[in-house]
Amino acid sequence: MPYLFDHFDVVKDLLAIQPFGLFTDVDGTIAEIVPTPAEARVSPVCRESLKTLAGRLAVVAAVSGRPAAEVRRMVDIDEMVYIGNHGYDRWAGGEVELVPGVEDYPARIRKVLEEFDKLVTIEGIIVENKGPTASIHYRRCRDHEAALQAVLSAVESPAIDAGLRVSPGRLVVELKPLLEVSKGTAVGSLIEKYRLSGAICLGDDLTDVDIFVALHRKELPFKGLAIGVIGKETPPQVLKEADFSLNGVSDVERFLKRIAAEVTGRPDS
């Protein structure tokens, strides 16, 4: 996959398109991957650049698997849009809005997690109940493969009975409603709402691939650029669907700083 800084003229050309949007994942993209979700912090360099961009572009959105209210607290930029739970909720007007049809899923999630707690006691497992979705992290487990198999064995049957989708990710298993909702559908809605003619998306994991695919499916004259943020755990689907690559959060810092300089017309220092 081509390295983005070797082809930055492509980005310059895109930034001339109006109206234009920027969509970014959080963990692994503007925040380093850490042992537990609670330890994650958004890069101050990324935050500063995103704040500048939010004042210049039609829309700048953080699109995360975390709950929207949590993403809002982490990023802490009033002018941005916050999509959480892989598209199942969003922060709007000072409060969280769920997508229609998801209202009864928090109870289903809670029931499956209660059953899971009875079955799995592996040291290092972290369970996040996020309302309409849930994440079961096994990054801190000693044997990742054994932990994954134990998690899948425990949740697959009750999840199916509850009408939930089981989605393995990067050292995590996600539980989601069986609805046609994803980061990709959420970004597609924002593209329509803001009538964007172009957009850039940054992401590093499987759920971000849904956004990459959504950008590529948009018909011309819309132009979208998918940027894969590459690390040692990058899924192959990210490499397949991204147009260009950046190497980790440090490269994202450099990239966002550079495009912030581009849109404000100031020297990139």
Please report, as a single letter, which amino acid is at residue 113. L
Average pLDDT over residues 91-105: 89
- Write the CB contacts of 146 (distance below 8 Å, at least 6 apart in sequence): 122
pLDDT of 112-157, one tens digit each? 999 999 989 899 999 999 999 999 999 999 999 999 999 999 999 9
Residue 266 has pLDDT above 70, yes or no: no
Q: What's the number of CA atoms in the CB half-sphere (13 Å) around residue 158?
A: 18
Per-residue pLDDT band at 267 (split at 50, 70, 90): low
Max CA pair span of the chain? 58
The whole-number pLDDT of residue 269 equals 46
CB atoms within 10 A of CB 261: 15
CA distance 6 to 264: 22
How much is the pTM? Answer: 0.91
Backbone angles phi, psi at 168, to 5 degrees: -65, 140
Please report, as a single letter, which amino acid is at residue 12. K
pLDDT of 181-194, one tens digit each? 999 999 999 999 99
Average pLDDT over residues 214-238: 93
pLDDT of 33-44, one tens digit each? 998 999 999 999
Domains of the chain plus CATH, in order, are: 4-99+181-264 (3.40.50.1000), 105-177 (3.30.70.1020)
Average pLDDT, the chain: 94
